[in-house]
Amino acid sequence: MSEPHALQEIGWPLDDHGQVAVPEWRECLEAHPQARPARVVEQHRSGYVVAEGPDDSFPVESPAEWQRRPSYRKGGIPPEARAGVGDWVLVERSGDVMQIVALLPRRSAIKRAAAGEHYKQQLIAANVDTVFVVCGLDKDFNPRRIERYLLLVKGSGAQAVVVLTKADHAADVPGAVATIAALASAEVPVRAVDAREPDSVAALRPWLQPGATVVMVGSSGAGKSTLTNSLAGEELMKTGEVRSTDSRGRHTTTYRALIPLPGGACLIDTPGMRELKPTGEEDVADNFADVAELALECRFRDCRHLKEPGCAVMAAIATGNLDPQRLANYRKLQGEVATAAGQLAGRRVQ
């Protein structure tokens, strides 16, 4: 097995006795005595790059069954069941190459439905402790998009933190923070930072402790690469200009990569995502607790919150206690999740 301290520096969990903290992982190690653990730090069409420490990475071959086209049919392997950035795998030498022989069970997984007509899940990152939902405080500031990101994160096993970048561009930073805090649940922290200033991004240190793994998600131009460079203390990721018309940027990050930070945490940067489709496994009511609680006060149990008498939701809108755009997004996401859930169920019975 690789040096435990080197593995710990890229997130390998050990208990107080120096043993692997995840029982299922210990079982996998015992089942493959000749293999050793490594973490996926890059995923490309041609294969993977894994690491056994912050300065020890190398390419590996995927199992033969992963090299076939992903499939939900019986006996097939869907795309989300294959390794992604952040996953822990067991690797073993086979001739002149290193090969993945096992994928360790995930402690958390951030997923979305891939773009396109046919249903397919896409793994964004695995085994992360925290998700930084990054949005710029410029013309691209969009509370509705943040609601959508929080829906994907909820139930993933990771904690969401909303990071509002470009605080130096905003006329009313406290107002923007209050807007997001009002739509996020109480356990979702909101921080406004200037991604170019190390002193400003120090506000994110509580989630970047040694051994922790954080993934950043957000649209192109939100400042994820700039934030990565500030946290790393060096220019690791390319950054680009954003359009003046809508503050959208080009995809300066073209693939997911896990980056060890100087303080001992790991950061996963991801390409900007313009389309965020739910997988069908999300709980919309859990993410819109304010709307769900109001619905319990409606006169009719099957109230659609349109023109029914005694509708507590519409009453809250009339008094200004509920944003009508939040209700509209709630309805929209309910429909999308229901559609995706039907597609997922259909895939699973094929």
The model's pTM is: 0.89
- Digit-coded pLDDT (tens) for 160-194: 999 999 998 788 999 999 999 988 877 899 999 99
Quote the pLDDT of residue 12: 93
- Range 275-294 burial, b when 16+ CB lie within 10 A, else e: ebbbbbebebeebbebbeeb
CATH of 284-348, one of 3.40.250.10, 1.10.4080.10, 1.10.40.50, 2.60.40.10: 1.10.40.50
Per-residue pLDDT of the chain (350 residues; tens, 9 = 90+): 567 788 999 999 888 777 888 899 999 999 999 999 999 999 887 789 999 999 899 999 988 788 777 666 666 778 788 899 999 999 999 888 899 999 999 999 999 998 777 788 889 999 999 999 999 998 889 999 999 999 999 989 999 999 999 998 788 999 999 999 988 877 899 999 999 998 999 999 999 999 999 999 998 888 898 999 999 887 776 554 544 444 444 444 457 889 999 989 999 988 877 778 999 999 999 999 999 999 999 999 999 999 899 999 999 999 999 999 999 999 999 999 999 999 888 876 66
pLDDT of residue 73: 66
pLDDT at 19: 82
Q: How many helices (H) and strands (E) does the chain have?
A: 10, 13
d(CA 122, CA 227): 24
* CA-closest candidate to residue 180, choices 163, 168, 166: 163
Instruction: Classify domain 124-269 at the CATH class level.
Output: alpha beta
Where are the domains positioned within the chain?
4-103, 124-269, 284-348
pLDDT at 254: 54
pLDDT for the residue 1: 56
> Which pLDDT value is given to residue 30?
93
pLDDT score for 227? 93
- Residue 128 makes CB contacts below 8 A (sequence gap 6+) with 86, 108, 110, 158, 213, 214, 215, 268
Q: What does the pLDDT read at residue 242?
A: 46
Long-range (24+ apart) CB contacts under 8 A made by 138-141 are 138/166, 138/169, 138/170, 138/242, 138/247, 139/245, 139/246, 139/247, 140/219, 140/221, 140/222, 140/242, 140/246, 140/247, 140/248, 141/170, 141/176
pLDDT for 237 equals 64
- Helix ranges (DSSP H) in the chain: 4-8, 23-31, 143-153, 173-183, 198-201, 224-232, 284-287, 289-295, 312-318, 324-348
Q: What is the largest CA-CA distance in the chain?
A: 73
Q: In which element (H, E) is residue 217 found? A: strand 213-217
Q: What is the CATH number of domain 4-103?
A: 2.40.50.140
